[in-house]
């Protein structure tokens, strides 16, 4: 079964955190940045 888009986005952010791409204390991407990166509506 394919994960829903919001689940894919959450997994990608989680991976960035656990892999060290996002350093401790560094903010996660804003909702607007995520919508641009993933090409989704802000409500996603």
Question: What's the average pLDDT block by block, 10 residues per block, for the chain (44 residues)?
Answer: 90 95 92 94 86
pLDDT at 43: 85
pLDDT at 32: 95
pLDDT at 44: 75
**Token representation of residue 16:** 């960035």
At a CB cut-off of 8 Å and minimum separation 6, what does 40 contact? 5, 9, 34
SS3 37: helix
pLDDT at 40: 94
What 8-state DSSP symbol labels residue 22? S
What number of other Cβ atoms are within 10 A of residue 28's Cβ?
12
Q: Would you kindly state where each structural domain of the chain is located, as residue ranges?
A: 5-38
Q: Tell me if 44 sits within 8 A of 6, measured CB to CB.
A: yes
């Amino acid at each position: 079964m394919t994960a829903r888009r919001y689940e894919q986005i959450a997994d990608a952010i989680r991976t960035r955190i656990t892999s060290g791409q996002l350093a401790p204390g560094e903010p996660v991407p804003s909702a607007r940045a995520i919508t641009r990166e993933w090409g989704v509506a802000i409500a996603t």
